[in-house]
Amino acid sequence: MFLPKIPISSSGSATSFPLLLHLTTSNGSYNRIKGFPSQCVLVSPTLTLLSNLHSHSSKLLWGNKYYLNITPLSLYKAGYYLKTDGNITVKYPITGLENIPGRYLRSLNQSLPRSHNIKSHITENYVQNRIRRNVKYLEAKRVMEQCRMNKTVLTSSTILCLITTVFLMGLVFAIQPVKASGTIYVRADGSVVPNTAPIASVDNVTYTLIGNIYDEIVVERDNIVVDGKGYTIQGTGNGTGMYLSDRSNVTVKNMEIRAFQRGVRLDDSSNNTISGNNVTHNEYGIVLYGSSSSNTLRHNDASDNRYNLGIHTASVSGYIQDIDDSNTVNGKPVYYWVNRRDMTVPLDAGYVVLVNCTRITVKNLSLTNNMQGVVLAFTTNSIITENNLINNFDGIRLDHSSNNNTISGNNITANTWYGIRFYYDPSTNAMSMNNVANTEYGSQLGGPPCNNTVSGNNITNNEDGIRLDYSSNNTISANNVASNGYGIGLYHSSGGNAIFGNNITGNENYGIWLRYSHSTNTISGNNIVNNWVGIWLFYSYSNWFYRNNFIDNARQVYSTGYGNTWDAGYPSGGNYWSDYDGTDIYSGLHQNETGSDGIADALYDVFNIWLCGQDNYPLLGMFHDFNATSECHVQTICNSIISDFQFNGTAIDFNVTGENDTTGFCRICIPTVLMNGTFRVFMNGTEILPPPEPLPCSNSTYNYIYLAYSHSTQEITIIPELPSLIILPLFMVMTLLATIVCRIRKAKIKP
């Protein structure tokens, strides 16, 4: 069938584009388009979506699928957001498309920010990953070929030539057809179906392969032995080689199982033995699902599968297995330890599971191509550090009250689903200094973990960076969460969590999102920069946002809820908003007292479709928090770039930099336990006189100082000035000490 080009009729100068590809999705939520040549554009809405389109140039029915070329404007009206450069127009070839609900879209007359230019924002790798995770794309090659075809019909001589060519190639390369016998069943009554299958049994207890099998075997009988005798069960990439569901006391041994979706699969099956098998070139090698328990694995080698070995269970009993190190994955031993104490996993490990263990160290390992790299279940006080966990389904998984563990310094990349997952009540674990990249979920805490710390990690290029489900009282701090689909998310009544001090930058959709989450989550001191939406709130309330830096997000905040708080009162202040240009002439609780304080004199409306709150004390400079000591922090509000901050035990010193000949300011908050009383302030080594007085908002806990200066690069030094009541006693003490030292020296030199 010939598919013609269909002109896009949004304007007289519109370019014509050919119809190229049909996409379907796994859940109906997303349509993604892979990067194609610049003259290619296509959309493939469902029949339901067709009825919602406001305009389109024409449509074409082909079989039972609809293919459509429509204008960017009609896509926009239909609730699609096109990432283009400048105004919505067909002048820019469309090579990236995603379905975003219409309520998130801007006015049709408003230009899109250049930061979302597709050439820089939608990379080929990003689109490929989204397709791999969210979209099953079908018939691309066939449709593209159809676009190039004309109506010429192949003649019989052409067909004969093609058949002859294929026949000759078959002779040259000796291509052998794959044999197919159909699925083979060992029935509950002991019979083998079909009865022509190469499986022999004289007692309906021991079943022996007498030849290779080219399809699946399903065991429906308990208390039997299936002996492969070295023969092969060969698949075609689908199905399961050896399948046991709800079976017990079955032995599967001495066979090679290859080229299936799953080589050996046990579902809810217990007390079985898998031994002496070579399971290779499958999608999944050997996997124990559900409540499968008390199974024995011996002398199996699972190699060259995408995922060689794994446990996929939510049950307690599912972790009770007898798997020793005679089993190997890609030639490396499996360490499935139960009830071990005070040990270190050997360096040759290929797969590690720790069940009910204490004080185990997992260090300097390379763990790849399994359902999980490392699993901890009911395991406490253990350390997972400095490992490479790559190309697993999940990188690290903590299950079922695995508490007080440390996960640090690991490289966790290119795992399919979770980088690190805490599930079923793990608590008081520390996850720090890990690199987590290129997974569906970088880090997920769900089901419901509490009191865990996620700090100082680099979490990039995942679909979700950090996600909390039903989680409470966790701390998410000082992480770099960048270039993910979504940055940090709180789902489903996650409450009492603290999210602070994170760099949340360049995430494709939302920097921070809360969905049905409330109960005083605190989000403070974060840099939220260059995301599509800085913070997105979906029916989430009673959360507290303050001292965050909202910079150059396409939309700073979007909310469908209310009842959230956007400042910490005076003098702590609210948030810095890069799209707010306020003035600072006044200070004080009501901003009616003369003198600047780094806080705008008028409030900032945090507004979208509904009024979702206001920042009563918006900051006019970015907020910074510096560790002066382990106990004391110095905080600043400053419109300059701050660098080289240090506290030497007596003096605070840092540099401020800005565009020459502009005015800079810096409000410094100093804990009184760190430095109290009056201060001497130096600019580039020259003391500022008269010395700046602490602001009236200073109290017994904090002193606040406000400085204004001309921009270039300035060094600011702050030292305490000792009160006069202290100077005289110190002078007297020093004089007395000097007198004593002098007399001792004179006594020593007497003859």
Question: Does 88 have pLDDT greater than 70?
Answer: no
Lowest mean pLDDT among 36-50, 380-394, 603-617, 647-661: 36-50
Quick one: residue 28, left, alpha or beta (phi over 0 = left, psi -120 to 50 = alpha)?
left
Q: Specify the residue for token string 């007692």.
A: 203
| pLDDT for position 662 | 93
Residues ≥6 apart with Cβ < 8 Å to 631: 673
Beta-bridged to residue 226, according to DSSP, are: 207, 252
Nearest to 672 by CA among 648, 646, 694, 639: 694
- Cα gap 597→601, rounded to integer Å: 10
| pLDDT for position 73 | 32
Q: Which fold has domain 622-725?
A: Immunoglobulin-like (2.60.40)
Confidence of residue 749 (pLDDT cuts 50, 70, 90): low
Nearest to 540 by CA among 477, 596, 613: 613
Q: Which residues of 209-243 are buried (b: 16+ CB within 10 A; e: fewer)?
A: beeebbbbbbbbbeebbbbbeebbbbbeeebbbbb
Quick one: residue 563, left, alpha or beta (phi over 0 = left, psi -120 to 50 = alpha)?
left
Question: Does 513 have pLDDT greater than 90?
Answer: yes
Question: Does 415 have pLDDT greater than 50?
Answer: yes
pLDDT tens per residue across span 96-133: 333 323 322 222 223 333 333 333 333 344 434 444 43
Q: Calculate the alpha carbon distances from 248 to 38, 222, 340, 686 in Å.
A: 58, 5, 27, 84
Beta-bridged to residue 72, according to DSSP, are: none
Q: Where are the beta strands (DSSP E) in 246-331?
A: 250-253, 256-258, 262-267, 273-275, 278-280, 284-289, 296-298, 301-303, 307-312, 322-323, 328-329
- In the chain, the percentage of residues whose pLDDT exceeds 70 is 71
pLDDT tens per residue across span 578-610: 999 999 999 999 999 999 999 999 999 887 545
| pLDDT for position 738 | 58
Confidence of residue 291 (pLDDT cuts 50, 70, 90): very high
| pLDDT for position 153 | 35
| pLDDT for position 97 | 34
Confidence of residue 613 (pLDDT cuts 50, 70, 90): confident
Q: Specify the residue for token string 């007297």.
A: 732
| pLDDT for position 705 | 95
Residues ≥6 apart with Cβ < 8 Å to 266: 244, 245, 247, 272, 274, 287, 288, 289, 292, 295
Question: Does 204 have pLDDT greater than 50?
Answer: yes
- Cα gap 50→56, rounded to integer Å: 10
| pLDDT for position 577 | 97
Residues ≥6 apart with Cβ < 8 Å to 573: 546, 547, 567, 598, 599, 617, 618, 619, 623, 637
pLDDT tens per residue across span 682-709: 999 999 999 999 999 999 999 999 999 9
pTM score, whole prediction: 0.74
**What's the DSSP call for residue 95?**
-
At residue 303, the 3 state secondary structure works out as: strand
| pLDDT for position 514 | 93
The answer to whether 338 and 360 are in contact (CB under 8 A) is no
- Cα gap 412→420, rounded to integer Å: 8
Beta-bridged to residue 23, according to DSSP, are: 137
Question: Does 656 have pLDDT greater than 90?
Answer: yes
How many other CB atoms are there within 10 angstroms of residue 93's CB atom?
15
* Geometric angle at alpha carbon 578, from 575 and 582, rounded to 5°: 80
* Geometric angle at alpha carbon 503, from 499 and 509, rounded to 5°: 90
Question: Does 734 have pLDDT greater than 80?
Answer: no
Question: Does 258 have pLDDT greater than 70?
Answer: yes
Q: Which amino acid is at 322?
A: D
Query: What is the phi/psi pair of residue 91, to 5°?
Result: -65, -20
| Domain layout of the chain by residue ranges | 6-148, 183-330, 622-725
The average confidence (pLDDT) of the chain is: 78
pLDDT tens per residue across span 463-489: 999 999 988 999 999 999 999 999 999
pLDDT tens per residue across span 11-39: 333 333 332 233 333 333 323 333 323 33
Nearest to 383 by CA among 365, 361, 353: 361
| pLDDT for position 77 | 30
pLDDT tens per residue across span 276-286: 999 999 999 99
Lowest mean pLDDT among 76-90, 208-222, 296-310, 447-461: 76-90
| pLDDT for position 519 | 75
Question: Does 320 have pLDDT greater than 80?
Answer: yes
| pLDDT for position 658 | 94
Report residue 460 as tokens.
């990039």
At residue 72, the 3 state secondary structure works out as: helix
How large is the average pLDDT for residues 716-721? Answer: 92
Question: Does 61 have pLDDT greater than 90?
Answer: no
